[in-house]
Amino acid sequence: MSLRFFSDQCVPAEITDTLRRHGNEVILLREQLPIRSQDPVVIAKAQELGAILVSLNGDFSDIVTYPPENYLGIIAIQVQNHPEIIPQLMERLNAFLVTHPTQDYYHKKLFIVEVHRIRIRGA
């Protein structure tokens, strides 16, 4: 079973391409909304599409502003101005996705993806 992701405009093609190569559906923000859409519009579109939001935007890691229990899943990828770590981040994330292949697993959770770990907040 593949997962459905909504990729924020800040997510590099390397990340979306890797998710697709591993059999997942990735919907790009620019295919659905103006690229400068505000964060509440972006996350609402992810909800409407029944997708897990993937973003590098640190705002989506704020559990006060975006409580995980209100959403279908948020994956916050922590590149921190070091694009050279993307391959390691994606290796970790893809291994995690393989072990958790159902869309429901991601509901009501925030996943903070770092090179050496994935932190989970929420339900």
Q: What is the pTM of this model?
A: 0.95
For residue 123, what pLDDT band results from cuts at 50, 70 and 90? confident
Q: Report the distance separating Cα 95 and Cα 115, nearest Å.
A: 12
Domain total for the chain? 1
Q: What pLDDT score does 1 carry?
A: 59
- pLDDT, tens digit, for every residue of 58-82? 899 999 999 999 999 999 999 988 9
Crossing angle for the helix pair 86-99 and 13-21, to the nearest 10 degrees:
30
Q: What pLDDT score does 81 carry?
A: 85
> Is residue 86 over pLDDT 70?
yes
Residue 83 domain boundaries: 4-122
> Is residue 90 over pLDDT 70?
yes
- pLDDT, tens digit, for every residue of 21-60? 999 999 999 999 999 999 999 999 999 999 999 999 989 9
State whether the Cα torsion 89-95-99-100 is positive or negative. Answer: positive
- pLDDT, tens digit, for every residue of 96-118? 999 999 999 999 999 999 999 99
